[in-house]
Structure 1
Amino acid sequence: MAIQIYETVNAGKVSATVLKRFSCIALAGMAAEYLVYGIAEGGPANIDKLDMLPKSLAFTQKKVDSQVRWSVLNTVLLLRRHELARAKLVEAMSMGKSVGTCIGIIEETIDDSDI
């Protein structure tokens, strides 16, 4: 996904769908940390980094703020909706499992019709 973002930004063709997906991915760790611990220590830094992409696309600050709010809310809703997958992923990550294993856990836990 990150490579796709860089390619589309460099080409000047970032679609709304790509921007929304990237925003949710960029904030997923922060949202999960908040859901598990009630606080997200890395949140402000993640949001600052996320602000850079829409600003580079000439978004106004108001539109950037709106994009970030939507992304946070959507990501929290997705994580709550797929709580079993999130819990299994947290367990696997805490055990130091590979990225491939973590992806497999998500794919096994979430039904394609539920996405």
Structure 2
Amino acid sequence: VLAALDVLVLPSIKSEGASQVIVQALAVGTPVVATSVGGSPELIHDGETGRLVPPADAGALAAAIADLLRDPKRARDMARAGQAIVRKTLSLDLVMERTTTIYDEVLAGRARARRA
């Protein structure tokens, strides 16, 4: 469904963590317009991997959406850039590797503490 969208819009007005729907949209190559709250600025670099607008600014939100709809090439370029970042930094293999490393470090620390 996300891949079929022209633009994903996430107009949050309150802070929230990194939105999984943004990650999912970028992963399938859908351009994103979101408000600059919570984790959105960590995922979207305005004008490069999507569009960020101030929260509760309906005019800026509408303008960002209209800009991407009027310029499909720019929207595709941003979507591709976002997709590349997701693949580079948030792929399942990479996340599993990072998680395993953290567990290994924690377990090694516990083993050292027991021996001390």
Which structure shows the bigger proportion of residues in strand conformation?
Answer: 2
Q: TM-score, normalised by structure 2?
A: 0.31
Structure showing the higher helix proportion among its residues = 1
Please give the TM-score of this superposition, normalised by the length of structure 1.
0.31
| Rg larger in structure | 2
